[in-house]
Amino acid sequence: MPDSSPVNLNIPGSFLQKTCTVVVVFCALHLSVTVLYYFNTFEIIKNSVFARNQQQKHINFTTVYPTTMLQIAPITETTATFKTEAEETKRKELEQCAETSPLLVGPLRVEFSQPVDLEESKKQNPALQEGGRFTPRDCKALQKVAVIIPFRNREEHLKYWLYYLHPILQRQQLDYGVYVIHQYGEETFNRAKLLNVGYAEALKEYDYDCFVFSDVDLIPMDDRNIYKCFGQPRHIAVSMDKFGFSLPYQQYFGGISSLSKEQFEKINGFPNNYWGWGGEDDDIYNRIVSKGMGISRPDGTVGKCRMIRHNRDKKNEPNPQRFDRIAHTRETMNGDGINSLSYKVVEIKKNTLFTEIIVDIGSPRR
């Protein structure tokens, strides 16, 4: 008689069940690893796209580092520069730009981990005119600003400066030009004299009414720190990472500052005889105060700046005479300044992103 009991039927069934369970668990595991990996990669891409394009207008004013994806189209529509005479006439008829530009985005991410490329900066700033000039298209700028950068052997820093600053200055709706004043030869560096040269040369080109003097290695971390002039000479780099985001001392006037034409003339410009590092900015501060002016500053948050780290340049060693000179600003300033400036322009090169003026400023009187 055949055996009708279901004895062996359970054995293959439970084997199949176990195999299925293992396969399902494996698939679930695989899926979660894939999903996790996908989100991580997306985060990295998102962050790097942001780091490269954070300079464009963004709507969120409150977050320190906005994280949404940004429009990556360069500023063209609202800020393209007028080129023809008819357009220039039209510009003259334009209304003044707003006291506070509506294009500002607030805090910016500034970093120097990835190299930047001049060609990319050119593409990002199609509205620039030769020589690093820009004029807002839709309104008449409140000020005509020459940005003066004293320079020697800092090509890499200049690339970062141009990359970060052009979009910022355009969002600030300034009618501006960038002048890189390149000290010719091997003589000891003289920052303040180069700044005087920048002032004089920029005025030969255009009727600027405001002058911003900036070191090449300083980048503002907030575009509300406006590169323009105020009722009093302005200290712009008030909160540098190098000094723990505060002033190293109350009278500090270094890094980035701005003076109107009138303010600059009132103090007879800057000293010409500070060769080497240090003191010239203190002399400028003394000049300002001795003419009865004060210093205007943004608050510590808006005034944050990053400095590109570097070793001390050769031929820019600390100037041992600086303490003595600072002590005598009042006596020297009327005879040493823009009224006693002498130099020889070696070459002027017009680049899309800036005007380079190579200048022989001589040597210290020994």
Q: Does 248 bind ligand BGC (CB under 6 A)?
A: yes
Q: Where are the alpha helices (DSSP H) in the chain?
A: 10-53, 85-93, 118-124, 155-171, 191-205, 261-266, 280-290, 322-326, 329-332
In single-letter form, the type of residue at position 120 comes to E
Q: Does 279 bind ligand BGC (CB under 6 A)?
A: yes
Binding test (CB under 6 A) with ligand BGC, winner from 107, 177, 220, 278: 278
CB of 314 to ligand BGC, least distance (A): 18
Indicate the SS3 state at residue 178.
strand
Q: How far is CA 246 from CA 116, 241, 243, 303, 305, in A?
A: 28, 8, 6, 9, 10
Q: Which of 95, 207, 312, 365 is catalytic?
A: 312
Closest CB to ligand BGC among residues 248, 300:
248
Closest CB to ligand BGC among residues 126, 248:
248
Closest CB to ligand BGC among residues 104, 237:
237
Q: How far is CA 128 from CA 133, 149, 352, 355, in A?
A: 6, 18, 7, 12
Closest CB to ligand BGC among residues 66, 255:
255
- Our answer to whether residue 175 is catalytic in this structure is no
Q: Does 136 bind ligand BGC (CB under 6 A)?
A: no
In sequence order, what are the beta bridge partners of 93?
none
Q: Does 254 bind ligand BGC (CB under 6 A)?
A: yes
Write the CB contacts of 258 (distance below 8 Å, at least 6 apart in sequence).
145, 210, 211, 212, 213, 227, 228, 229, 230, 233, 234, 236
344 token code pair: 């020889």
Q: Does 102 bind ligand BGC (CB under 6 A)?
A: no
Q: Which of 52, 156, 293, 307 is catalytic?
A: 307
Q: Does 320 bind ligand BGC (CB under 6 A)?
A: no
> Among 104-112, 225-233, 256-264, 278-286, which window interacts with ligand BGC (CB under 6 A)?
278-286
- Our answer to whether residue 312 is catalytic in this structure is yes
Q: Does 337 bind ligand BGC (CB under 6 A)?
A: no
Closest CB to ligand BGC among residues 66, 279:
279
101 token code pair: 């530009």
Where does this chain bind ligand BGC (CB under 6 A)? 248, 254, 278-279, 281-282, 322
